[in-house]
């Protein structure tokens, strides 16, 4: 079974289209007006082993806020749509990723309850062209779109590029495991949900 989804979202501020295949190889085709954001999305996709086509444009004449936030929202929405009702999912994933001087810790629970725990400090406002002040907005929107509890913590580090890349590598791997199917439940895949409640509001 190949789980995949498409979304095309248009507002007065942004236009974003996304196509995601969960059972992918890490292939990406990402195009936004912010080069470093492209790099981070490609990094997440590669380590998640998803296939992602993602194209976005927005009102950068205002600032980056609308575009960066909406990119997080649409990425979460397309993952949520591809995951379906959540039958047979691992549901939870976590990963610790070192990258030179930095260490990123991420965890994901596809609980149906969006919440973000975010601990990341950067030394400068911009990394490449990306306004790092908007990263928390990106991840808040990702949590809402995916309806997930997401934890992001960076324990130390000096280089902002290393910190951010470590976060997206780690999150990609956390999502990879959370969205994977539990082979022990494959025989009853249409019945089993990874919750005692019997319902996950994906």
Which domains are present in the chain? 4-188 (3.30.230.40)
Output b/e per residue, 74-87; b: 16+ Cβ within 10 A.
Answer: bbbbbbbbbbeebb
The model carries a pTM of 0.91
| Rounded distance between C-alpha atoms, residue 180 and residue 83, angstroms | 9
pLDDT per residue rounded down to tens, the chain (202 residues): 789 999 999 999 999 999 999 999 999 999 999 999 999 999 999 999 999 999 999 999 999 999 999 999 999 999 999 999 888 899 999 999 999 999 999 999 999 999 999 999 999 999 999 999 999 999 999 999 999 999 999 998 999 999 999 999 999 999 999 999 987 755 555 455 556 555 566 5
| Rounded distance between C-alpha atoms, residue 5 and residue 21, angstroms | 7
């Amino acid at each position: 079974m190949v789980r995949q989804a498409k979304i095309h979202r248009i507002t007065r501020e942004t236009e974003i289209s996304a196509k995601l295949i969960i059972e992918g190889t890490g292939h990406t085709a990402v195009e936004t007006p912010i080069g470093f954001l492209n790099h981070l999305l490609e990094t997440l996709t590669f380590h998640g082993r998803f296939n992602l086509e993602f194209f976005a444009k927005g009102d950068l004449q205002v600032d980056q806020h609308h575009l960066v936030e909406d990119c997080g929202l649409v990425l979460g929405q397309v993952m949520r749509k591809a995951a379906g009702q959540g039958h047979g999912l691992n549901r939870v994933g976590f990963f610790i990723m070192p990258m030179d001087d930095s260490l990123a810790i991420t965890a994901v629970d596809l609980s149906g309850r969006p919440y973000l725990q975010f601990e990341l400090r950067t030394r400068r406002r911009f990394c490449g062209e990306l306004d790092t002040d908007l990263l928390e907005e990106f991840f808040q929107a990702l949590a809402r779109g995916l309806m997930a509890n997401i934890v992001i913590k960076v324990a130390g580090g000096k280089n902002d590029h290393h910190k951010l890349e470590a976060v997206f590598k780690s999150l990609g791997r956390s999502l990879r495991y959370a969205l994977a199917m539990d082979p022990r439940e494959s025989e009853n895949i249409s019945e089993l949900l990874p919750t005692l409640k019997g319902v996950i509001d994906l």
